[in-house]
Amino acid sequence: MSEAPIAVFDSGVGGLSVLAEIQQRLPQESLLYFGDCGYIPYGEKTPEFIRQRCGLMARYFREQGAKALVLACNTATVAAVAELRRDFPDWPIVGMEPAVKPAAAATRSGVVGVLATTGTLQSAKFAALLDRFATDVKVVTQPCPGLVEMIEDGDLSSPALCRMLQGYLEPLLQAGCDTIILGCTHYPFLKPVLEQMLAPDISLIDTGAAVARQLRRLLDEKQLLASGPAREPRFWTSGDVAHFAQVLPLLLPQTGAVQSFDL
């Protein structure tokens, strides 16, 4: 069982930012990445639609014997993680949500910005996160429609992308944010360009590394950690295989074969 794969899921290529963190900490694990690119963007879909996709995907990977599931997507987590944990109570499921708690602790100006999808920012789970951890700071939220699609196309730095990003950053900077949460797993791929656009005293926070640590803890607790040599991840997509294979090396240092898969 400990040699069984871990399913890592996102609506597209964004979850690869989380996969990289998992690979770095757990190189001996067999990782199966599924990008639901045929149905992207989740950020503009209804919670019901996302729950249905996540339910189908989780059932499939559970039946195939995956030892754990990583929802490497903030939008999918806020919409579906509660239901998945109820439906699969004994299965380690790691979700992710915008890093409000660490950002509230880190800000010196008392103003935190959140870049995320419309779906994440409108969710009850995000509202609860603010109620719980952000009572002493001001939080400025910014949905970023269109950004995910550009990253899916492998665009991490074009003038058009920078213009769009500048428009989304403007209200956060105007409000005096010194800490910006990257609340979508696609956005860590924009860190290099963001660092060029922002003053050096503005911090960017994301949760990929925390998710990898939590996965490690859960597997350890259940004695499910794999041993042996490092393994290559596998990649599946419900979108265009050739396109995924073309974008993959722009996002990950180590790539691998891409397969078509839909539910």
- Per annotation, catalytic residue among 37, 54, 73, 177: 73
* E strand or H helix that includes residue 7: strand 6-10
User: Distance between CA atoms of 74 and 79, rounded to whole angstroms?
Assistant: 9
Nearer to ligand DGL, 10 or 29 (CB): 10
User: Distance between CA atoms of 220 and 117, rounded to whole angstroms?
Assistant: 32
* Six-digit token string for 171: 């209200």
Tell me if 41 contacts ligand DGL by CB under 6 A.
yes
CB 59 within 8 A of CB 78: no
Binding segment (CB under 6 A) for ligand DGL, from list 7-15, 27-35, 123-131, 209-217: 7-15
Query: b/e for 7-31, b at 16 or more Cβ within 10 A?
Result: bbbbbbbbbbbbbbbbbeebeebbb
> 3-state DSSP call for residue 51?
helix
DSSP letter, residue 54? H
Tell me if 68 contacts ligand DGL by CB under 6 A.
no
Of positions 5, 14, 92, 143, contacts ligand DGL by CB under 6 A: 14
Shortest gap between Cβ of 185 and ligand DGL (angstroms)?
4
Site string for ligand DGL, 96-135 (x = CB under 6 A): ---------------------x--x---------------
* Six-digit token string for 69: 């599931």
Q: How many residues does the chain have?
A: 263
Tell me if 10 contacts ligand DGL by CB under 6 A.
yes
Site string for ligand DGL, 171-200 (x = CB under 6 A): -------------xxx--------------
Tell me if 33 contacts ligand DGL by CB under 6 A.
no
Cβ-based burial of 75 (10 A; exposed 0-12, middle 13-18, buried ≥19)? buried
Binding segment (CB under 6 A) for ligand DGL, from list 40-48, 136-144, 161-169, 240-248: 40-48
Beta sheet of 6-10, edge-to-edge order: 93-94, 68-71, 6-10, 31-35, 234-237, 258-260
Binding segment (CB under 6 A) for ligand DGL, from list 5-13, 21-29, 124-132, 158-166: 5-13
Nearer to ligand DGL, 109 or 118 (CB): 118
Nearer to ligand DGL, 119 or 226 (CB): 119
**Closest residue to ligand DGL, based on beta-carbon distance:** 43
Residue 162 a catalytic site member: no
Shortest gap between Cβ of 71 and ligand DGL (angstroms)?
9
Tell me if 151 contacts ligand DGL by CB under 6 A.
no
Distances (CA, A) of 13 to 90, 157, 198: 28, 16, 25
Query: Where does this chain bind ligand DGL (CB under 6 A)?
Result: 10-12, 14, 40-43, 73-75, 117, 120, 148, 184-186
Query: What residues are annotated to the active site?
Result: 73, 184
